[in-house]
Copies of this chain bind each other. A is one copy, B any other.
């Protein structure tokens, strides 16, 4: 569809739940979207991409501009990276191969310092942006994604050839605008690090506990012990953020707690990673924030306990 458009050409690296959902939303809005796939290539070529969305209804993209090799993808102006953060160090050659001159790479991952990892393997001429997805999606089968709720994306500039703050802002604004044109709520983040800490307030308790206790958000919210633990973990992350110089809005943890209570039952990605014996994103979501807070003089004993338990499970599946 619409490969003749003047709109930017978008490459999707990692067509799991995140890449599949946003890539499909952008493609159906007329963007020229190219999907790099691995294990899902055959299924997507045969049946297209499907998103069963509680918000947008059933969406189907077929045919899909699908590729099994980065070398075959035409040069893209934007690259949306929705892979697991555990694989960032290996993404350099793939992204470099898919990127047009001066392309913008938007890293749609949770956790802290994920951009630093990727930046180290990217050429200097590429802009690197961080993105946070506030969305309940999960992959149910190759090329099939279920979208349960929300969808907003927050975008912030990390590093690259932008000459000044004005250029950085205009690039970030262009990224946000792209999502808005696809019917996706999008925000510009003034402070990417602060936003990453804010997201951690949710991810630290819910991702880890849903994996460790093999459960879902509703179950966690319906037991008094896990409710207390979620809130205590949230408080610790807020304190860790503050120690690192990011003062979060008053009542921020309570707000996320209440939002989760009214959310449809959801199993965060770490739950699925554990059940399907994939590596857990412990470095980005636990180890790096713990190290950053500790360096700033803030111990987070509950979060560290959860991290140590998860690290054991990750290595002894």
Query: Which A positions have Cβ atoms within 8 angstroms of B?
Result: 209, 212-213, 215, 219-220, 223, 225-226, 228-229, 232, 301-302, 304-309, 311-313, 315-316
Contacts and interface: CB of A to CB of B under 8 A. Distances in A.
Main secondary structure of the interface of A (DSSP, over half): helix
Nearest to A215: B316
A213, A223, A225, A301 — most chain B CB neighbours (10 Å)? A225
Copies of this chain per assembly = 2
Contacts of A209: 309
Q: Which 5 A-B pairs have the closest CB atoms?
A: A225-B311, A229-B308, A301-B301, A225-B308, A226-B312
A224 to B, nearest CB: 8
A315 B306 CA distance: 19
A260 to B, nearest CB: 16
A223 B315 contact: yes
A298 B213 CA distance: 27
Contact of A308 (B226, B308, B315): B226
A223 B142 CA distance: 34
Given A301-B301, A302-B302, A309 B223 contact: no
A86 to B, nearest CB: 16
Contact of A315 (B225, B311, B312): B225
A306 B228 CA distance: 12
Contacts of A307: 225
A313 B228 contact: no
A151 B306 CA distance: 33
B223 A316 contact: yes
A225 to B, nearest CB: 4
Contacts of A219: 316
A226 B304 CA distance: 11
Given A223-B311, A301-B301, A302-B305, 7 more contacts: A215-B312, A215-B316, A223-B315, A226-B308, A229-B312, A232-B305, A301-B305
A288 to B, nearest CB: 15
A229 B305 contact: yes
A3 to B, nearest CB: 49
A149 to B, nearest CB: 23
A309 B229 contact: yes
A179 to B, nearest CB: 37
Nearest to A310: B225
A302 B226 CA distance: 14
11 contacts: A212-B212, A212-B309, A223-B315, A225-B309, A225-B311, A226-B311, A229-B312, A232-B301, A302-B302, A302-B305, A305-B305
A209 to B, nearest CB: 7
Contact of A309 (B213, B312, B315): B213
Contacts of A312: 213, 215, 220, 223, 225-226, 229
